[in-house]
């Protein structure tokens, strides 16, 4: 029997309750969404904060879109606090100028975009993926979607390749180290593996990110990830593609490739150019995909009726750090996101 969940939000931590959908299905830059950034620990005043900072915070909480100028920030006694406010307000102004979370996210990777902390980018990807998967009933798809916004640790054993949330693994390892002080035998870090029999467990603990994913070729994890790539591209670009997991790329010289992370980009670029890749101390490709473009009129003429190949890699520290923005800015399209 297939286990499902009620239609609705998957991750409360994504922040979908702070915003709403616009007519085009993208997410609004709402008052509550902005207030969530003003109440971050780096921004929220503490007891020792000056009166100007307290007043500025209250002003923004009352009107998240309030105009704040350089003189307002210069009056804050703590220069670090002033810098934090300047950063968040640049982010806010970028969001407002673009009109939606998706448009703001996509344009962060264009020339001249404001620099924002990587954690903000991951949070936006989390929120957008929550929007894409609104009402999703397949737990495998939801777990695979975590790659788009959370770093993964990779372990291989018994011909299996398991992905686990890097932050959760690190926390569990720290806990195990503390336990080992009193019980030297308790040093192992183990996470439950998501499978069809226990799929309903995912929905109750989705925000814990504590289920591992089998990501071997021919396993449901890679297929779910392929469908997510298709949906991510359709959501942003209104472009139809078909993605298929591969064991290897058999063409001696492919026409187009996209690395889904920095390490995969480095490796695929080197292979494309015929460069030597040392085996020791380097990352490696853990998954390959073939992408077909179904809307041929949107593709560069030299790439029409040709596939693009995608790669996902683990780095030398056994981490996967996916960059889903690469699917928006590195495709062979006649028009790209601005």
From residue 329, alpha-carbon distances to 250, 310, 334 in Å are 25, 13, 12
110-115's contacts with Cβ under 8 Å and 24+ in sequence apart are 110/329, 110/337, 110/338, 114/90
pLDDT band at 181 (very low <50, low <70, confident <90, very high): low
pLDDT band at 4 (very low <50, low <70, confident <90, very high): very low
Q: Residue 128: CA atoms inside 13 Å, Cβ hemisphere, count?
A: 25
Q: Which of 265, 235, 228, 246 is nearest to 307 (CA)?
A: 246
- 2 burial level (CB within 10 Å; 0-12, 13-18, 19+): exposed
Mean pLDDT of 290-312: 95
pLDDT band at 250 (very low <50, low <70, confident <90, very high): confident
Instruction: Tell me the two tokens of residue 265.
Output: 């980009």
CB 111, CB 172: distance < 8 Å: no
CB 291, CB 319: distance < 8 Å: no
Q: What are the tens digits of pLDDT across the range 147-162?
A: 999 999 999 877 789 9
Dist CA 222 CA 213 (whole Å): 10
Q: Please, what is the average pLDDT of the chain? A: 90
pLDDT of residue 179: 56
pLDDT of residue 3: 38
Highest mean pLDDT among 50-59, 107-116, 275-284, 327-336: 50-59
Q: Would the pLDDT of 6 be above 70? A: no
Q: Would the pLDDT of 64 be above 70? A: yes
Q: Would the pLDDT of 93 be above 60? A: yes
Q: Would the pLDDT of 116 be above 70? A: yes
Q: Which of 283, 315, 316, 325 is nearest to 122 (CA)?
A: 325
pLDDT of residue 100: 98
pLDDT of residue 186: 52
pLDDT of residue 2: 39
pLDDT of residue 1: 30
Pick the range with the lowest mean pLDDT from 40-49, 67-76, 188-197, 295-304: 188-197
pLDDT band at 97 (very low <50, low <70, confident <90, very high): very high
CB 303, CB 312: distance < 8 Å: no
Domain boundaries, the chain: 12-132, 140-214, 220-329
Q: What percent of the chain has pLDDT over 70?
A: 90
pLDDT of residue 51: 97
Dist CA 206 CA 10 (whole Å): 7
Dist CA 80 CA 103 (whole Å): 29
Between residues 226 and 280, the one the model is more confident about: 226
Mean pLDDT of 77-97: 97
Q: Would the pLDDT of 178 be above 80? A: no
Instruction: Tell me the two tokens of residue 212.
Output: 């591992």
Q: Would the pLDDT of 89 be above 90? A: yes
pLDDT of residue 180: 53
The pTM score is 0.91
Mean pLDDT of 242-268: 89
Mean pLDDT of 286-303: 95
Q: Would the pLDDT of 183 be above 80? A: no
From residue 338, alpha-carbon distances to 107, 137, 173, 209 in Å are 6, 33, 42, 33
Give the torsion through C-alpha atoms of 281, 264, 324, 308, to 10 deg.
-170
What is the layout of strands, in order, in the sheet containing 241-246? 241-246, 284-293, 308-314, 257-259
């Amino acid at each position: 029997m297939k286990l499902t969940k009620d239609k609705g939000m998957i991750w409360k931590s994504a922040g979908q309750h702070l915003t709403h959908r616009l007519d085009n299905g993208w997410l609004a830059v709402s008052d509550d969404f902005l207030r969530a950034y003003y109440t971050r620990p780096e921004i929220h005043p503490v007891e020792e904060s000056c009166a100007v900072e307290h007043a500025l915070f209250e002003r923004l909480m009352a009107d998240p879109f309030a105009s704040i100028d350089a003189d307002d920030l210069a009056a804050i006694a703590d220069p670090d606090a002033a810098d934090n406010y300047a950063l968040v307000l640049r982010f806010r102004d970028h969001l407002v100028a673009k009109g939606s979370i998706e448009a703001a996210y996509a344009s962060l990777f264009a020339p001249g975009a404001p620099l924002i902390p990587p954690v903000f980018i991951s949070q936006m990807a989390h929120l957008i993926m929550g929007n894409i998967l609104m009402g999703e009933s397949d737990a495998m798809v939801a777990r695979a979607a975590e790659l788009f916004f959370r770093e993964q640790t990779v372990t291989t054993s018994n011909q299996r390749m398991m992905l686990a949330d890097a932050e959760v693994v690190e926390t569990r390892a720290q806990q195990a180290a503390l336990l080992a002080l009193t019980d030297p035998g308790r040093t192992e870090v183990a996470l439950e593996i998501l499978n069809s029999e226990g799929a309903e467990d995912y929905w109750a603990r989705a925000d814990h990110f504590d289920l591992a994913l089998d990501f071997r070729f021919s396993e449901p994890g890679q297929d779910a990830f392929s469908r997510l790539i298709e949906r991510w591209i359709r959501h942003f670009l209104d472009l139809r593609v078909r993605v298929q997991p591969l064991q290897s790329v058999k063409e001696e010289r492919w026409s187009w490739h996209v690395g889904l992370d920095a390490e995969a980009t480095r490796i695929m670029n080197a292979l494309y150019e015929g460069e030597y890749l040392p085996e020791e101390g380097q990352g490696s490709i853990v998954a390959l995909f073939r992408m077909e473009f179904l809307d041929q009129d949107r593709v560069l003429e030299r790439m029409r009726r040709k596939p693009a190949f995608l790669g996902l890699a683990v780095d030398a520290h056994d981490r996967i750090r996916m960059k889903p923005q690469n699917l928006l800015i590195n495709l062979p399209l006649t028009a790209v996101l601005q």
